[in-house]
Structure 1
């Protein structure tokens, strides 16, 4: 049985880390073949203490998540496959097993895993709707990778903060294809997560396939406590490396198709939401669509404002 190393990066995540690690421990994959690594970045809360309840492999590393991930995935991990998660993510029970099966038999070097944003309020539901369009596109990012391939491309570019996932995907595609673990019925999943009771949510997500009746392995991302100002600050922070990322790849190909889609208004505002029949989902949820475009507009304005400031500097 191939070993899988799951690397979780943390910083003051005492509220979330327990549920994340519990979902890894609950995987229907042989425990002896599952290695859990937590790479912390100077937490001052109980994050590391909670993490040590699940694994002895708890380390300190900074300054950013790319360096944390590289440390865990390149220097510590012993698995044939490496997966990286944020502390506020929860895996449904079959994700690891199905990822290994897909990578072992599908010819891919890495996989995108469908990511479901949690939360019953309006903006979390809008974020869940928006995220559903990105699976398997250039807006997505691989979550599990063959270890030898990850090492061959040098891991994450630690000079980038924000687009490092996209950068990694582009490097991986130079050695092989990236697959999509699964596809799902948005309306069914949306209804399931929106109606979860406040108590017992982690268990309900781990047991998603059994309780929902949907045979679909998924990754759940907890954005229930959505704050618009914090969301926009985070998005602005992560656009800081955009110019470096764009220059890196357009220097090799001035008309790089991935860059054109990732940063071009035509694709980010329209193309990704209508291609491959996705326009049907867009039209069937006008309220969520309006909320999504409102957020996309704000993020776009902040991105352009940042570019303008950089041009004046």
Structure 2
């Protein structure tokens, strides 16, 4: 398949001329462009696309733009087949390959810049939007707001894992790109997402804060609902997630007041206490001071046990999960502080 031709044609749109490119005016009457970034997981993407195709919004009033961050043949083929299936209904589906992998911020920028509509709807490739999602989101922006934040439902089992419980925090987020609507003019005025946020972490809060600081208005679209299932995760996944802590420093540098008001009022004192007690134990042991070393080590153990118990409080209690919590609780404070301080150095900001 010729990717350029597939993207330029825009399935479901009548071509106005043979020279129309990927950002032409084929769908000039579209009200909303739905931007879906993806990275090498076509199976959940197709579930999301099927839900988007089932909207109670007129098929000719919106387009779907799939931004493939690190394009692969399987995803491109899946999108092409889906586009062929829905083209008879007049629904436009476009595939935008992002040649240099940049993360979701860069992929979303590629999507909204290719959009042909004044309103941009953002969701993730593993969500399931409600049939009324687009209608509710467009209605929220019709009030004159610059952006709107929808409702994210995260289904959990009766006894979730720590990872599942942590992921459910998305349902309480003020503004998350898994379910957000933004005027294209506002995105253009701000330059879109900051592509220094190369992981799926805090790039949405950065956009939210930028809109607020520019004097924009953000409203809630409670009836615009997407379901966001928690994907299976490997054992010890929380250790790898600590790398995202560096982006806390970037967000704090850009929006210090809003960060303290809406994200975190202060540093993670427990983490610092755990790290400090272990360092004291090591220094005392190297200096030959056994009693202070033992006392510091006991303090480290007590603080770590407190942290582990807090993670287990509302999660499942089977032996493998308890073992995972015990092991990762010993390492998370050190990794988190390392990445926080590394971010502070990288982005040149005093951030503890």
Shared fold by TM > 0.5? yes
Contact between 1:118 and 1:223, CA under 8 Å: does it hold in 2? Answer: yes
Per the TM alignment, residue 217 of structure 1 is displaced from its structure 2 partner at its CA by 3.8
Tell me the SS of whatever aligns to 2:81. coil
Contact between 1:89 and 1:221, CA under 8 Å: does it hold in 2? Answer: yes
Residue in 2 that maps onto 1:290: 314
TM-score, with length taken from structure 1 = 0.69
Structure of higher RCO (CA pairs closer than 8 Å, 6+ residues apart): 1
Say if 1:231 and 1:54 are closer, same or farther in 2 by CA, change over 3 A. farther
Moved over 4 A (4+): 286-289, 297-301, 308-313
1:49 aligns with 2:77: yes
1:218 aligns with 2:225: yes
Q: Which runs of 5+ in 1 are unaligned?
A: 183-215, 251-255, 270-285
User: 86-95 or 221-230, which moves further after superposition?
Assistant: 221-230
Alpha-carbon distance between aligned partners in 2 of 1:147 and 1:43, rounded to the nearest angstrom: 25
TM-score, with length taken from structure 2 = 0.62
Tell me the SS of whatever aligns to 1:16. helix
1:101 aligns with 2:139: yes
Alpha-carbon distance between aligned partners in 1 of 2:69 and 2:58, rounded to the nearest angstrom: 29
Query: Which of the numbers 240, 243, 250 marks the counterpart of 1:237?
Result: 243
Q: Which runs of 5+ in 2 are unaligned?
A: 1-28, 84-92, 271-309, 317-324, 347-352
1:303 aligns with 2:340: no
Residue in 2 that maps onto 1:82: 120
Alignment coverage as a number of residue pairs: 252
Per the TM alignment, residue 229 of structure 1 is displaced from its structure 2 partner at its CA by 2.4
Say if 1:43 and 1:231 are closer, same or farther in 2 by CA, change over 3 A. farther
Per the TM alignment, residue 238 of structure 1 is displaced from its structure 2 partner at its CA by 2.5
Residue in 1 that maps onto 2:209: 170
Cα distance per residue 1:38-82 (max 9 Å; x no partner): 1112344621111122335112113222111111102x1011111
Query: Which of the numbers 118, 130, 152 marks the counterpart of 1:115?
Result: 152
Residue in 2 that maps onto 1:193: none
RMSD: 3.4
